[in-house]
Structure 1
Amino acid sequence: MFTNIERWLEPGAQIKALIDPLFRLLTSLIFIIGGLGHFGQHDVMLDRMKESPWSGTVEMIGDPSVMLWLSGLAFVVAGVTLALGWMTRASALILFVTLVPVTVAIHVVPDTSHIGPLFKNIAILGALLFFWARGPGAYSFDNSGKALELTR
């Protein structure tokens, strides 16, 4: 019975192909918008970093302001390239490597109000691993010279 339900719910090949760019776009928007926030709300984000129990570690690694600018740049650039499906695996890894320390520094704190954002970031890390392992899927610049594979 459950097999029949699963079969009935499975989308067709064209819908599956449309999900690929939609998944890339929806995942990348959080990085593009958030990365722009690193520039537009720089002081607010610096204050949030200073409140973190990891602020001393962050300062030992480097200037928090410079790291905020660099992470914002990585989020925006790699977010756009992920959305386009261009250098998808590299973009996913850049975003992953940038998001891990941001997640630890900002969301791994004793304050329970950070549980939701922490697990949101964990889910996003999972999506990035998916792109790294599977590639861009259909309708991407990475696959523009190849025939689109509409079935998996």
Structure 2
Amino acid sequence: MLSGIFLVAGANHLLHVDETVGRMERASLKNFALYFGEPDTLVILSGIVMLGAGLTFMSGYLTRYAAAVLLLVLIPITITVQVGQATTLGPLFKNVAIAGGLLFFILNSFTPVKPTHETTDSRTTRPQPDHLVHS
């Protein structure tokens, strides 16, 4: 569920490059983004990364790393576009909430629980956070 916003945003970055660049150029902290490169290149790269990491995150493969990549993309976008927009605090706090969700997956690794009895059916085991797995 958390990956959906990155899939939509990534697709929008790639399908509407000029609109996204325009939004970046209207942002009060646009110079922060310009520190990283040319706006067109940044929008295309962020779109590719959001789609790739979003699909990886959604699939559950390398979840921790995909969440870290998404967080690294979310931070500069949030600073550039949302911070400094006093009239649009909702999107800023939406991004803060998304960052919190990503941090949850970065800080909690999920691994399958090993059956404690030979009679335990492996199909009924559920992933548990590492700190709850007993070796």
Report the TM-score range of the alignment, normalised by the length of the smaller protein: 0.7 to 0.9
Report the counterpart of residue 128 of structure 1 in structure 2: 102
What is the CA RMSD across the aligned residues, in angstroms? 2.1
Contact residue 85 and residue 136 of structure 1 kept, 8 A: no
Q: Tell me by how many angstroms 1:137 deviates.
A: 6.5
| Long gaps (5+) in structure 1 | 1-25, 139-146
Provide the aligned length of Structure 1 versus Structure 2. Answer: 119
Report the counterpart of residue 17 of structure 2 in structure 1: 42
Q: Tell me by how many angstroms 1:88 deviates.
A: 0.6
Report the counterpart of residue 149 of structure 1 in structure 2: 126
CA 1:87 to 1:111, structure 2 compared with 1: closer, same or farther past 3 Å? same
Q: Tell me by how many angstroms 1:81 deviates.
A: 0.6
CA distance in structure 2 between the aligned counterparts of 1:29 and 1:136, rounded to whole angstroms: 20
Residue 32 of structure 1 aligns with an amino acid whose one-letter code is L
Report the counterpart of residue 51 of structure 2 in structure 1: 76
Name whichever of 92-101 and 56-65 sits farther off: 56-65
Identity of aligned residues (%): 33
Whether 1:101 and 2:76 are equivalent positions in the alignment is yes
Q: Tell me by how many angstroms 1:150 deviates.
A: 5.4
CA 1:48 to 1:87, structure 2 compared with 1: closer, same or farther past 3 Å? same
Report the counterpart of residue 32 of structure 2 in structure 1: 57
For the residue of structure 1 that corresponds to 2:126, the secondary structure is coil
For the residue of structure 1 that corresponds to 2:5, the secondary structure is helix
TM-score by length of 2: 0.80
**Which protein is richer in strand relative to its size?**
2
Q: Tell me by how many angstroms 1:40 deviates.
A: 1.1
